Amino acid sequence: MSTSTARVRQHRTYLMCRPDHFTVSYSINPWMEPATPTDTAKAVRQWQTLYDAYVAAGHEVHLIDPVPGLPDMVYTANGGFTIDGVAYGPRFRFPERAGEEQPFLDWFAAHGFETVVPTQTNEGEGDFLLVGDAILAGTGFRSTGDSHREVAEVFGREVVSLTLVDPRFYHLDTALAVLDPVEGPGGVERATIAYLPGAFDARSQGILAERFPDAIRVADADGDAFGLNAASDGLDVFVSPRAHGFAAQLHERGYHPVPLDLSELLLGGGGIKCCTLELRIGRQNP
């Protein structure tokens, strides 16, 4: 692909949650150290820059009320997975986050979504990413293989299961970013993704290489900087400012990296994409 590839911004609708109650009071991933102090006001300020960047790019951002005692609720990507007005709810691996399940389901129901209560452990868009008309699904740390089968049934789509092997990259959205989903039939082959090869087992690396030969393969240093935890509208890619190599790769492919520092939220093991849930409302109007 050449530098002149014309990218087109696609309108997005997102769900976010202000980190009013953010802190690190427990540890369920290697980034979380409860002994390290957190600065909630700083988390809110950094989060606000992401919110403002989405709005400035013309996107629509809905908000869910933060609940006291649920410090991880800011990571709305884990709150569900939505396609065509149907919201598949989350069922968290760790009891610390179980209290988030009902508030997210209630939010979807109150905003015109048909809700599906899951029977299997899954952490929403943290582990499910839509590409073309298929769902890339992560497992290994959080969402189970059974949830991959459940999500395939709920949405009637092909699910491509990928296994994560590095505990620092415990959700699919920490190791793989969809830059242009080309949603719809036949889109998978034309979609662009970026990923961190070393975060996946050999079988999954083989699947990714075969199905996405043009993918951006990101260097370990950029993965370590949480660079893959990026949100893209097909033109702008909202990305960690420390993922320098990835930013250069994005430029080369005609994307426009928008660097945003969410360092405080990284203390909870989350970044830009974690704080962002895409709302695909289909023909419905939430």
Q: Which residues are catalytic?
A: 171, 274
Q: Tell me the closest approach of the beta carbon of residue 46 to ligand ARG, in angstroms.
A: 15
29 counts as binding ligand ARG under rule CB under 6 A: yes
28 counts as binding ligand ARG under rule CB under 6 A: yes
Q: Tell me the closest approach of the beta carbon of residue 31 to ligand ARG, in angstroms.
A: 8
For residues 78 and 97, give the distance between their C-alpha atoms in angstroms, rounded to a whole number: 10
Q: Which stretch binds ligand ARG (CB under 6 A): 50-58, 212-220, 236-244, 262-270?
A: 262-270
Please report the DSSP string for the chain in residue order: --TTPPP-PPP-EEEE---TT----S-SSTT--TTS---HHHHHHHHHHHHHHHHHTT-EEEE----TT-GGGG-GGGG-EEETTEEEPPB-SSGGGGGGHHHHHHHHHHTTPEEE--SS-B-GGGTEEEETTEEEEEESSSS-HHHHHHHHHHHT-EEEEEEB--TTS-SGGGTEEEEE---STT-GGG-EEEE-GGGB-HHHHHHHHHH-TTPEEPPHHHHHTTTTS-EE-SSEEEE-TT-HHHHHHHHHTT-EEEE---HHHHTTT--TGGG-EE---TT---
269 counts as binding ligand ARG under rule CB under 6 A: yes
126 counts as binding ligand ARG under rule CB under 6 A: yes
Among 78, 122, 161, 240, binds ligand ARG (CB under 6 A): 78
Size of the site for ligand ARG (CB under 6 A): 16
Residues in contact with ligand ARG, shown as a per-residue x/- string from 87 to 116 under the rule CB under 6 A: ----------x-------------------
Among 79, 80, 223, 270, binds ligand ARG (CB under 6 A): 270
For residues 27 and 267, give the distance between their C-alpha atoms in angstroms, rounded to a whole number: 10
Q: Tell me the closest approach of the beta carbon of residue 25 to ligand ARG, in angstroms.
A: 11
Q: Tell me the closest approach of the beta carbon of residue 198 to ligand ARG, in angstroms.
A: 17
For residues 102 and 178, give the distance between their C-alpha atoms in angstroms, rounded to a whole number: 28
268 counts as binding ligand ARG under rule CB under 6 A: yes
173 counts as binding ligand ARG under rule CB under 6 A: yes
Q: Which stretch binds ligand ARG (CB under 6 A): 14-22, 81-89, 243-251, 264-272?
A: 264-272
Q: Tell me the closest approach of the beta carbon of residue 271 to ligand ARG, in angstroms.
A: 7
Among 77, 164, 243, 272, binds ligand ARG (CB under 6 A): 77
Q: Could you count the other beta carbons within 10 Å of the beta carbon of residue 217?
A: 14
| Under 8 Å between Cβ of 83 and 125 | no
Q: Tell me the closest approach of the beta carbon of residue 275 to ligand ARG, in angstroms.
A: 8
Q: Which stretch binds ligand ARG (CB under 6 A): 13-21, 206-214, 265-273, 278-286?
A: 265-273
72 counts as binding ligand ARG under rule CB under 6 A: yes
For residues 80 and 86, give the distance between their C-alpha atoms in angstroms, rounded to a whole number: 10
Binding residues (CB under 6 A) for ligand ARG: these are: 28-29, 32, 72, 75, 77-78, 97, 126, 171, 173-174, 268-270, 274
